Structure 1
Amino acid sequence: MDPVIIVGAGPVGLSLALALARQEVPSVVLDEGPGKDEPRLARTVVLRADTAALMERLTGEPLDQAGMRWAGWRAMRRKQVTREVTFGGDEPAPLHIAQHELTGALRAAAAAERLVRISVDSRLDTIEQEPSGVTAHTRGPKGTWWRGSYLVGCDGPRSTVRKLLDIRFPGRTAVERHAVAALRAELPWPRQALLHRTPPWRTSGPSAGEITGRPLPDGVWRLDWLLPPGKDLVTPELLVARVRETLQGWSEGSVPAYELLDTGVHTVHHRLARRWRVGRVLLAGDAAHLLGAFGTQGLDEGLRDADNLAWKLSLAWHHGPHDALLDSYQAERRAAVSARLRAADQALPLLRAGGGIRTYVPGAARGHDVLLSDGHLGHGPLGAPGTYAHSPLAPRHLEAEVPVGTPPGEPVADVRVTAEDGSFVRLRDRLGRAALLVVLIAPGTGVWERRHWVSAGIMPRLAAAVTALPCPAELLVAESYPGAAAHTVLLIRPDGHLVTALNGVRPADLYAAAEAAVGGRRTRENADGMENAEATAGSAAT
């Protein structure tokens, strides 16, 4: 079968190619550039713990040397500390990394992957599709025709793919602007990210006085200054003045020694493509949406697009087209991004306004500071990752469904599990393999060798039920899971979102949930399988 054509060799396109390769799907990545990325320390991204884990799975290496996991977070208003967070345990540390470092790690992994081919200097100009596949033409030194099973546009805000499909991209332009500087300096809060609102050395209102500091390795910091509304030119003199003023204010005295490494202006746009799928052509990343009121989070959502799409494309590639499954990509991801855009559009006017009714409402400023900090930390309406509780893939009317610490549709907690070979691994390590995960919560199994309990109790019946599922699945065992009682069975999607939790081994419910998770029935064989699941499990038990 023809490979998947991926247009764009940024982090989203390369991540999608590597995610497909993990599921034995070949791809061709069309890179309109020369295959090299300009180092820019003023262009960085903040990845949540789960997306950072995804990047490490795909690159095959830890990213702690290239980026920094923060030790903590500090929020200040004027001279007062309003919030402090220490990362670790229940509050996993985000990963802050320069985008060129992340792209370089992905490029290196893609170059070593036999199922990924990167074609540089290949600019797309034509797409033709029919029921059996997609044909794309590129111009340039290597201009040629490419044949693929599907095509995914990961080609950024000015996406050629989106324009060729004539998909509208409505939204708001220049929602905010930030002056950005990357510098090497010794600040009072090593390895702590900082949000400082209305610092005492600035008196022109909160918009002009909101500063964010984010540490990187080797003593480097990215500093962002929220600019007042308008299109005033940010001159080098103005930026240097902001740097010196801020460093002096934070150091409470003279300006400490610093080395200015890179500068820029980050302009926030909020846009959302009307459609993310047209036949065998799909959009992902900045080609499908633009967001990022906090300057670093747009890529995090793009990587979630790739993770969501990869396993669905894999099932369609291996087992034939499935419209319901592929349509769920747009339904889930567009709804999640839309919710974040809506929350930002509603909250930002209140967060940025000076004076007005906020001045007379006790505690309003503190509440706004909390809301803004939550957005930076990945919590609340401005920062929490999207959930798929109302997904078309969510199962309905399961009699044995029980609540656990993770609601259906949300990302699962990363607990230790026992794999089929008896080894102990993290749950996230088993994701992204085009297989559903079935996790039995069985306290005490961690202290016994697998051979002692794999054939005992309910395990044979559960193993038989997993074998009878209508799609590939892997059976794992965990000693515990937040909010789950003993013998609870979790069904988890390849992208780490919980499908359902069942009270014990219920083969018919497990089958129905698995069938819904992959888009519903397609053949009579699948329909027959549901009726046979209970009988198969019953036979195993006897």
Structure 2
Amino acid sequence: MDPVIIVGAGPVGLTLALALARQEVPSVVLDEGPGKDEQRPARTVVLREETAALMERLTGVRLGGPGTRWAGWRSMRRKQVMREVAFDDTEPAPLHIAQHVLTGALRAALSGEPLVKVATDSRLDAVEQETSGVTAHTRGPKGTWWRGSYLVGCDGPRSTVRKLQDIRFPGRTAVERHAVAALRTELPWTDEALLHRMPPWRTSGPSAGEITARPLPDGVWRLDWLLPPGKDLVTPELLLARIRETLAGWTGDATPSYELLDTGVHTVHHRLARRWRVGRVFLAGDAAHLLGALGTHGLDEGLRDADNLAWKLALAWHHGPQEALLDSYQAERRAVVAARLRAADQVLPLLRGSGNLRSYVPGSARNHDALLSDGHLGHGSLGAPGAYADSPLAPRRLDGEVPVGTPPGAQVADVRVTAEDGSFVQLRDRLGRGALLVLLIAPGTGVWERRHWVSAGIMPRLAAAVAALPHPAELLVAERYPGAAAHTVLLVRPDGHLVTALSGVRPADLYAAAEATLGGPARAEAGAGVSAGSS
């Protein structure tokens, strides 16, 4: 069968290629550039815990370290500290990393992957699709025709794939603008990120009512100054003045020494493609959505697009297309991103409006700071990871379903499990292989060798039920899971989202849930119309 064609060699496209390769699906990545990424220290990304774990699982590289994993977070208003967070096991730190470092790790992992071909200097200019596959044409020195089973546009905000499919991309332009600088210096705090609203010192030029400082390795910091609405030019002189007064304001003295590494202006747009699938063509990442106001992070969502789509394309590639399963990619991911965009649009007038009576309500300042912090830290409606509670793949109500600490459709907690070979691993380590995961909660098993309990109690019956499922599944055992009683059985999707939790071994319920997760007969009719939606 033909490989999957991936258009775009940014983080989302490279992640999708690696995720497909882990599930034995070949791909061709069309890279319009030379295969190298410009080193821009001021262009960084912040990834939530689960997304960072996905990157580390795919690249095989520990991406964290001093600076990249913050020790803490604080938000200030004028001279007052409004909120402080210390990151630990109960509050994991986000991952802050330069985008070229992340892309470099992905490229390094792909360099030894025989199932992935990266075609450099290959700019897409035509796509044709039939019922059996997709043909893409690239122009340039290496211009040629490529044949694929599916095609995924990961080619950014100006996506050629999206334009060739005549998909509308409505939304708002220049929702926010930030002046950005990456510099090496010493600040009064170490490895802690800071959100400072309404700093007390006089600013140069138009008001800089919000400054964000995020640490990076080797004493480097990324500083962002929120710019007022409009298109005022950010001159080098203005930016240097802001750097000097900000550093002096934070240190309480003359401007400390610093080394300026990179600068830029970051403009945030909010857009959402009307369709994410047209037949065998899909959109992901910035080609499908743009967001990023109020501390939200668009690349994080793009990487989750790739994780969601990879296992569905892999199943279709190996076993033939299940239309309801492929349609669910748009239904799930577009709903999550749309919810975050709606939340940002609702909060923006409160946080950015001037002269609004609500800004004078007692306690409103603290509430506004909390909303902004949630966006930066990955909490609340602005920042929390999306769940697929209303997914077309969700099974109908099951008789044996019980609640646990994770609601259906949400990302499962990472707990230590015993694998089928008797080894102890983390649950996240078993994700992304294309198999369903069946997790039994059995307190006390951790102190015994697997051979003593694998054939005892309910294990033989559960193992038989797992073997009978309509898709390969791996049986795992954990001593505990948040909110789960003993003998609870969890069914988990290949991308780590909970399908259901059952009280004990219920083969019929387990089979029905697995069948629904794969876009089974009961759900096929409901999901079939998504790919034909209006543009």
Matches for 1:83-122 after TM superposition, within 5 Å:
83-122=83-122
Match of 1:81 in 2: 81
The equivalent residue for 1:350 is: 350
State the 1:202 CA deviation. Answer: 3.6
Letter in structure 1 aligned against 2:509 = D
Partner of 1:517: 517
SS in 2 for 1:315: helix
Q: 1:273-312 counterparts in 2 under 5 A?
A: 273-294=273-294, 297-312=297-312
Secondary structure at the aligned position of 2:85 is classed as strand
Could you tell me the percent identity over the aligned residues?
Answer: 84
Q: Which moved more, 1:123-132 or 1:194-203?
A: 194-203
Any conservation in 2 of the 1:412–1:497 contact (CA below 8 Å)? yes
Give SS of 1:327's match. Answer: helix
Change (3 A) 1:206 1:476: farther
State the partner residue of 2:531. none
| 2:240 aligned counterpart, secondary structure | helix
Q: State the partner residue of 2:236.
A: 236
Q: CA–CA distance in 2 between the matches of 1:502 and 1:214? A: 43
- For 1:514 and 1:245, how far apart are their aligned partners in 2? 59
| Kept after mapping to 2: 8 A contact 1:387/1:411 | yes
Which position in structure 2 is the counterpart of 1:169? 169
Counterpart AA for 1:326:
L
Once the two structures are superposed, residues 383-434 of structure 1 have per-residue CA deviations (whole angstroms, 9 ceiling, x without a partner) of 0111100000001110110000000000011000000000000100000011
Aligned with 1:401: secondary structure?
coil
Deviation of 1:348 after TM superposition, in Å, equals: 1.0
TM-score by length of 1: 0.95
Q: Is contact 2:350–2:359 with CA below 8 Å preserved after alignment?
A: no
Shift of 1:521: 2.8
**Residue type matched to 1:128 in 2?**
E
Q: Partner letter of residue 305 of structure 1?
A: D
Aligned position for 1:134: 134
Query: In 1, distance between residues paired with 2:409 and 2:164?
Result: 33
Match for 1:224: what amino acid? D
Q: Provide the C-alpha distance between the structure 2 equivalents of 1:516 and 1:375, rounded to a whole number of angstroms.
A: 33
Preserved CA contact (<8 Å) 2:70 2:87: yes
* Distance apart, 1:354 and its partner CA: 2.9
- Distance (Å, rounded) in 2 between the aligned partners of 1:107 and 1:84: 37
With the length of structure 2 as denominator, give the TM-score of the two structures. Answer: 0.96
Amino acid at match of 2:324: A
Structure 2 unaligned runs (5+)?
524-535
Change (3 A) 1:135 1:401: same
CA distance in structure 2 between the aligned counterparts of 1:204 and 1:458, rounded to whole angstroms: 70
Deviation at 1:121, TM superposition (A): 0.2
Distance 1:204 1:256 in 2: 18
Structure-2 change in CA distance of 1:244 and 1:319 (3 Å)? same
Q: C-alpha offsets along residues 488-538 of structure 1, whole Å, 9 cap, x if unaligned?
A: 001000111000000010000000001001101399xxxxxxxxxxxxxxx
Give me the CA root mean square deviation: 1.5
| Conserved 8 A contact 1:207-1:353 | no
Q: Partner residue of 2:528?
A: none
Deviations 1:321-364 (A, max 9, x none): 11100000000000000000010011011111233213431101
1:440-470 Cα distance to aligned partner (Å, 9 max, x none):
0000011100000100100000000000000
| Residue 446 of structure 2: aligned partner | 446
- In the alignment, the residues of structure 2 paired with residue 342 and residue 356 of structure 1 have an alpha-carbon distance, to the nearest angstrom, of 21
Report deviation, 1:189.
1.4
1:69 aligned counterpart, secondary structure: coil
**Number of matched residues?**
523
**Distance verdict in 2 for CA 1:12–1:344, change over 3 Å:** same
Distance 1:193 1:203 in 2: 21
1:28-87 Cα shifts (integer Å, max 9, x gaps): 000000000000011000011110010011111111259611111001001111100011
Which AA in structure 1 matches 2:380? Answer: G
Superposed CA deviations along residues 71-123 of structure 1, whole A, max 9, x for unmatched, are 11001001111100011111111100000000011011111101000000000
Q: Could you say which residue in structure 2 is the equivalent of 1:412?
A: 412
Q: Is the 8 A contact 2:77 2:196 kept in 1?
A: yes
The one-letter code matched in structure 2 to 1:148 is G
Distance in 2 separating the partners of 1:121 and 1:471: 39
Partner of 1:428: 428
Please tell me whether the aligned partners of residues 205 and 354 of structure 1 are also in contact (alpha carbons under 8 angstroms): no
Conserved? CA contact 2:204–2:242, under 8 Å: no
The equivalent residue for 2:217 is 217
Structure 1 residues 388 and 307: CA distance shift in structure 2, 3 A: same
The answer as to whether partners of 1:207 and 1:352 remain within 8 angstroms in 2 is no
1:130-209 mapped onto 2 (5 Å cutoff): 130-202=130-202, 208-209=208-209
Is the deviation greater in 448-457 or in 294-303? 294-303
Structure 2 match to 1:383:
383
